[in-house]
Amino acid sequence: MTTVDDDRSRERTSTEPPTGPAAAQLALDRAVARLLELQHEDGWWQGELETNVTMDAEDLLMRQFLGVRTREQSEQSARWIRSRQRGDGSWATFYGGPPDVSTTAEAYVALRLCGDGPDEPHMVAARDVVLSHGGLGATRVFTRMWLALFGLWSWDDLPLLPPELVFLPAAVPLNLYDFACWARQTIAPIAVLASLRPTRALGFGVDELRGAAGSPPDSGAPLFRLLDRLVRRYDRLPYRPTRAAALRAIVSWIVDRQEADGSWGGIQPPWVYSLMALHAYGYSLDDPVIARGLAGWERFTVSEETAEGPVRRIEACQSPVWDTALALVALADAGIEPSAPAVQRAADWLCGEEVRVRGDWAVRRPRLPAGGWAFEFDNDLYPDIDDTAEVVLGLLRAGSGGSRRAAVARGIEWVVGMRSRDGGWAAFDADNTRELAYRLPFCDFGAVIDPPSADVTAHVVEMLARTGTHPDAMQGGVRWLLTHQEADGSWFGRWGANHLYGT
């Protein structure tokens, strides 16, 4: 006989959270449902690419340089920058990272530009961080270059980067193609700015951040010190026979590499510097190149309502191709059938994003047919090996018949053709390993070359193993990975910058 107490007992049991396999299945079902909710109607996925406030500070400074900064933009960006300041007054380059003098200095200058007074408590705290870390003289070259653009730092105290670099053939050390694509596209417009030395007014100074006088950057070996002296001597000549031609050539190089959405490489650094360099060279704001660049920049702007009011922040890059490929693999792993509409929409969208034009990668691989995929919506000149490998894996899970089969085949052949001489794969280029670039005093801002890495090589090995193609290249990749295992057993991930990702 069933009693009321028995019914209540069963009711309690039925509402208890599941455990074991049932709990795992519930979590999986919820994750799949959420992923499908996040898919764009055109078939792609894109998560926000979070970064630090240098993006927002430099956005405001770029707008000030071009004369297009508005009060609304300033208020919303300043609100965001303030919200990211930590309790010690600093800003970091990554979440939970140590105080960074360059990021903090740029945030401080941007907030001054937006009207924050130097005596306000949060500004005093930021100033103390900058001073305690060596003042403006301890900031990176990029930060001091931003200051020079507004007369807050002397161009004479910055490392020289002559536009004549554009004339160096690809076989000569320190030519533009010796640098990774992200550095190459940034160095070109900076060379224009460093040659023209434009300045714009801010309406205030930042002497309170100077601290002790900083030492000039060490230019390394005697050869580099000699080269630096020679370049500076040439730069001071009243007549420089190659300069006008070099500026014309490098400006043309920059314009030729603007993407369809107005960006350069689909990333922030070359984008903002190219806009300022072209404007300084004489391009007006209504010139199609500048107008496209500014219009496209709006897509990288994230607006959000907060308790303190609306904020705006800038994405350094956007990742729809990567996110969509990963989503396809995840859905297949979760048991979603290839015929599912969401899967087919995503696969069709990815096929439409295939890169069929030749970019800078062809300098090192002149006979390799075009193929592959980029990370972003628009970056046709710089497809990357990592994305291509992951897209191939995603398309295979979605069913790669018909036109997809041809796209997959082209992607595989392009990836194999981009293998470096040592058997590994880099992100964008092959054999981009000349470390001489790091000896330049200008290159104090991080990675400036694109050598093979464990994470990219591992994705290619996975792709080749899955497709059963090019076994010799796959085994070469395996040997490369075994050779580059760290002493503690891990592999370092360069693009997911930690050992867990690489491993």
CB neighbours of residue 201 within 10 Å: 8
Task: Extract the tokens encoding 433.
Answer: 């390993």
Distance from C-alpha of 104 to C-alpha of 169, rounded to nearest angstrom? 39
Reduce the secondary structure of 86-141 to three states and give it as a string.
CCCCCCCCCCCCCCCHHHHHHHHHHHHHCCCCCCCHHHHHHHHHHHHCCCHHHCCH
Distance from C-alpha of 224 to C-alpha of 230, rounded to nearest angstrom? 10
**DSSP helix/strand/coil, 375:** coil
Distance from C-alpha of 144 to C-alpha of 130, rounded to nearest angstrom? 13
317, β-bridge pairs: 267
Distance from C-alpha of 108 to C-alpha of 102, rounded to nearest angstrom? 10
* Active-site choice (178, 228, 386, 429): 386
Tell me the CB-side half-sphere exposure of residue 272, using CA atoms within 13 A.
25
Tell me the CB-side half-sphere exposure of residue 464, using CA atoms within 13 A.
25
Please confirm, yes or no, whether 256 is among the known catalytic residues. Answer: no
Question: Which residues are designated catalytic?
Answer: 386
